[in-house]
Structure 1
Amino acid sequence: MDLMRKLPRSFYDRDTVTVARELLGARLVHVAGGVERVGRIVEVEAYLGEQDLAAHSSKGRTPRTAILFGPPGFAYVYLIYGIYCCMNIVTEREGSACAVLLRALEPVRNVEGRSSGPGLLCRAMGIDRRQNGRDLLSDDFFVAESSERETMQVVSRPRIGVDYSGIWAGKLLRFYIAGNSFVSKP
């Protein structure tokens, strides 16, 4: 296994759009059942707290969304359609309720199945609701710096599936690596 340096808490404790863009190229690592799964993050969406009508936090703090209002660098994992888990990373200061949704990964190691789309990403990485509230500075669940210094073109587009959110639907808060074949929807 190559040495992977975890991103520090301070990485997540910044502006959500900056964190979202800088997560591109980083590695998501999840060790479960003795298997280390690693995927390169290639697509994300930023959610900007209670004022963002597409964000779960827009309805305020609830038992489901409490993690979003906590400190940065924790996983918010929730179920959609009663089938798929989706994973967000909490960003900014405690109480801001901001997060970055992980939308697609490029498989690096032991990632089985499709990983393009937030539900498929979680399934391929073995992430489920047991990871909700997990600290991303854990030894078995973390985001690591990119192992290579790469120049990549980042594309900004509106988020997917948030047509109900009024003016927030058109905001360019989805980011992905241009030309990457694992992006869910170019």
Structure 2
Amino acid sequence: MVPPLAFLPASFFDREADVVARALLGATLRHESDDGVVSGRIVETEAYLGPHDPASHSAVGRTPRTWHMFGPPGTAYVYFIYGMHWCLNAVTREDGYGAAVLIRAIEPTEGVTLMRARRPKARSDRALSDGPGKLCAALGVDRRCDGWSLTGGSALGILPSQPVPDAEVLVTPRIGISKAVDWPLRFVWRATGRAI
């Protein structure tokens, strides 16, 4: 009998978003569907700190679109952007607060053939999931996953890993936003070559 997977617990996510964003580097994001299992190591994240963060969706308050961004910790908050891409966030802090970590990129580790079938125009395995919209397409993550628990009990979850040393982490301002553009809340695992 195969033992159940040990996903990161809710307590891992019940911290400040920037702390969780840094700690998620190296962890494994996994999605199981009827098509198969796909997973990858998280190599880039961005923190959205909560209602006081003008770049955060929670800055305008809780709406039907942002409902799951407000918790509980360890919940998947999935939203649609530019009319074409899904983006996956891991909710942080206490239930009702409204902070989250955008998972910007993963390094594929399992189900690469399925990822290629979902992203046939990708020019390399790295390009399968080197952006927030790309990784959702490669993993088959969409609005149906919004509100799912990332801590077990759903087909989508995050598994722990050995911590990535500080010397291997690049911290930069967030990208692709128009507010609080200088806040250093993007975390990149240098070893993956994404230090841009």
TM-score by length of 2: 0.86
Counterparts of 2:156 and 2:85, CA distance in 1: 19
Counterparts of 1:154 and 1:75, CA distance in 2: 24
Q: Which runs of 5+ in 1 are unaligned?
A: none
Q: Would the alpha carbon gap of residues 60 and 149 (structure 1) be closer, same or farther in structure 2, given more than 3 Å must change? A: closer
Counterparts of 1:9 and 1:149, CA distance in 2: 18
1:156 corresponds to which of 154, 162, 171: 171
Counterparts of 1:139 and 1:66, CA distance in 2: 18
8 Å CA contact 2:148, 2:154 repeated in 1: no
Q: Which amino acid aligns with 1:142?
A: G
Give the alignment's Cα RMSD to 1 decimal: 1.8
Counterparts of 2:49 and 2:93, CA distance in 1: 10
Q: Which runs of 5+ in 2 are unaligned?
A: 120-127
Shift of 1:144: 0.2
Shift of 1:5: 2.2
Counterparts of 1:68 and 1:86, CA distance in 2: 12
Q: Would the alpha carbon gap of residues 135 and 149 (structure 1) be closer, same or farther in structure 2, given more than 3 Å must change? A: closer
Q: Would the alpha carbon gap of residues 2 and 159 (structure 1) be closer, same or farther in structure 2, given more than 3 Å must change? A: farther
Shift of 1:70: 2.2
- Residue 103 of structure 1 is matched in structure 2 by 104
Q: Secondary structure at the match of 1:179?
A: helix
Percent of aligned pairs with the same residue? Answer: 46
Shift of 1:179: 3.2
Asked if 1:145 is matched to 2:160, the reply is yes
Q: Would the alpha carbon gap of residues 106 and 46 (structure 1) be closer, same or farther in structure 2, given more than 3 Å must change? A: same
Deviates more, 1:119-128 or 1:32-41: 32-41
- Count the aligned residue pairs: 180
